Structure 1
Amino acid sequence: MTTTQAPVRREYVEVSGTSLSYLSSGADQAPPLLLLHGTFWSRVWLPVLPALGTVRRCIALDLPGFGRSDGELDPDQATVPALAGTVLAAADTLGLDSFDLGGHDIGGGIAQHLAATSGRVNKLVLMNSVMFDSWPVPAVERFRDPQVRVATTAAELLEARAVSTQRAVKRTLSEEELADYLSPWTEPARHSSWMAMAAAADPHYTLDLVPLLQETHIPTRLVWGTEDDFQKVSFAHRYVTEITGSDLVEVNGKHIPTEDAPDAVAHAILEHLGT
């Protein structure tokens, strides 16, 4: 893989009156690669953006109420179809008629929805993504109970995010890295938006997509940290068995393999996009 690296910038786009943030890398005239997060934020893509930006115009979007974006989600706005609509609105504003698409965690569920229904996805990358009935995991599912959401304090949610973030990475994050990952969850709107995404987590969204994905034949690469405790690699093996046109690259790492094996993840993505 090339040692050339592209700079990463933080930029903003207004969608339906809300300022959405995104990390960008690469030349504006390069083919676009839109990258989505789930229960984390665009920070999960940061380690691979300098490499991906050498050949693509990368846009790692923060959904409303996440990361550095404004807005606040409620459970109705945080379903996979609703968030897919938000992503398409952002793509429209950014002038992306069609694009390659990557999704991590629940962002992978949104990516599957877009691949199956929008007609605008050229190639698809799913990184340690939700699929079939692999989700919600217990740490997320408990927030589907409205009483749990009401009773959870900001300090409790922040501590839960700290535990989940470190569990998502095989190596030990530095204090600075962990603080960076947790930095969005110091604001009430971020707490509400995260719990709304958890409340809206429902496997029927991905299960219902399977027949459509089997018909679309969109070239799809799954990139997976094989020691993921949240999204087991067995679901990735099932996906490549059932969905035509998909393959799997396993890398050393856990739920956020960009932190454990950034070079391997970037290589796997670039190889897929270049074929």
Structure 2
Amino acid sequence: MRETTGTEVLRTSVQVDGETASYLTAESVETGESGKQDGPAVLLLHGTYWSRVWLPVLGRIAEAGLRPIAVDLPGLGRSGGELTPETATVPALADWVARFASALKISGPLSLAGHDIGGAVAQHLLVHDGLEVSRLALVNSVTYDSWPAPHVARFRGPGADAGTTVDDVLDARREAVTAALCGAATEQRIADYLDPWTDARVRRSWMAMAGAADSRYTLDLVPALRRSATPKLLIWGEEDDFEKVEYAERFASEIPRTTLLRIPDAGHIPTENAPGRIARALVDFFTA
């Protein structure tokens, strides 16, 4: 899976809680050094999608001497296991990410980025002591009470899965992915994003994540975020109908040491619309 001239993106895995935790990283084609293993780690978290959201920027991050790690949360993407309503909450996922980092023997301060609900997990990790976070980037992330979005909320509540068919989930995911990709939507790209949901286990895990989606997990973090001195970068596709840019503006105005980068003509997954610009912004931020 070639990303740029000097790097190659590859998928590998590690065991966490007895299950396979799959992740994307990048290696130098010339040296074969996977993700420049001696470089500072950059941990990239997805939300209701999977590690595919980070694919367009991985190679460029590695070329800058960083070690990008885009993990699939348990039961999602290519990772093993299966989420339940209890293990799909933001605090539970944050605990799992800390165990994943431990399994990779990542020590010391690390840079952390989160997209969508992965941004809530990242905020939780910053505020609590699961990981030592030196810099935090949020890309079209959930914040405050901005979530769950209607297309996720429809799958919440007791018995929500009772009358839900496979086609219901796949149709809802196709509609959401198409809108999220905005101008970058192509049939091949949409199919790439939808591929994991052909697995019943992944669909069940996604339903569990939808059921556990609750804005109190981000609202409860606001007081601690206001006290945080950690540098923060918000990268936002302005055409996002799910996580409105107004929430990013509010976050940037209220949370200290926060910079907002707006990406015009981009939707909920702006890494597909402006990969070069976003990769440069992340590299500049993480290496500052």
What is the TM-score of this pair, normalised by structure 1? Answer: 0.96
What is the Cα deviation at residue 60 of structure 1?
0.2
* Number of residue pairs the alignment of both structures matches: 273
The one-letter amino acid of 2:10's match is: R
Pairwise CA RMSD of aligned residues? 1.2
The one-letter amino acid of 2:86's match is: D
What is the Cα deviation at residue 156 of structure 1?
1.4
Q: Could you tell me which residue of structure 1 aligns to residue 95 of structure 2?
A: 85
Q: Could you tell me which residue of structure 2 aligns to residue 105 of structure 1?
A: 116
- Matching residue within 39, 43, 50 for 2:48: 39
- Unaligned runs of 5+ residues in structure 1 are none
Higher helix share goes to which structure? 1
SS at match of 1:50: helix
What is the Cα deviation at residue 176 of structure 1?
1.8
Deviations 1:207-232 (A, max 9, x none): 11011112221100000001100000
Q: Could you tell me which residue of structure 2 aligns to residue 161 of structure 1?
A: 173
What is the Cα deviation at residue 188 of structure 1?
1.1
Deviations 1:28-79 (A, max 9, x none): 1000000000000000000011111112100000001100001110111000
The one-letter amino acid of 1:115's match is: L
CA contact (8 A) 1:4 1:51 kept: no
SS at match of 1:178: helix
CA contact (8 A) 2:46 2:115 kept: yes
Distance 1:159 1:186 in 2: 11
Distance 2:101 2:153 in 1: 30
SS at match of 1:21: strand
- Unaligned runs of 5+ residues in structure 2 are 27-34
What is the TM-score of this pair, normalised by structure 2? Answer: 0.92
CA contact (8 A) 1:5 1:53 kept: no
What is the Cα deviation at residue 169 of structure 1?
1.3
Deviations 1:217-270 (A, max 9, x none): 110000000110000000001101111011100112000000111111111111
Q: Could you tell me which residue of structure 2 aligns to residue 202 of structure 1?
A: 214
Distance 1:272 1:217 in 2: 15
SS at match of 1:151: coil
Q: Could you tell me which residue of structure 2 aligns to residue 57 of structure 1?
A: 67
CA contact (8 A) 1:184 1:190 kept: yes
Question: Cα 1:272–1:4, aligned 2, differ >3 Å: closer, same or farther?
Answer: farther
The one-letter amino acid of 2:13's match is: Y
Q: Could you tell me which residue of structure 1 aligns to residue 32 of structure 2?
A: none
What is the Cα deviation at residue 172 of structure 1?
4.7
Q: Could you tell me which residue of structure 2 aligns to residue 10 of structure 1?
A: 11
The one-letter amino acid of 2:15's match is: E
Deviations 1:88-128 (A, max 9, x none): 00000101123100000000000000011125101010000
The aligned runs of 1:103-182 (5 Å cut-off) are 103-118=114-129, 120-182=132-194
Q: Could you tell me which residue of structure 1 aligns to residue 76 of structure 2?
A: 66
Runs of 4+ displaced beyond 6 Å: none
Deviations 1:120-161 (A, max 9, x none): 101010000000001011111121123222211112101111
SS at match of 1:185: helix
1:48 correspondence with 2:57: yes
CA contact (8 A) 1:79 1:197 kept: yes
Deviations 1:177-222 (A, max 9, x none): 1111111001111111101111001111001101111222110000
Distance 1:69 1:112 in 2: 22
CA contact (8 A) 2:252 2:260 kept: yes
Percent of pairs identical after alignment?
49
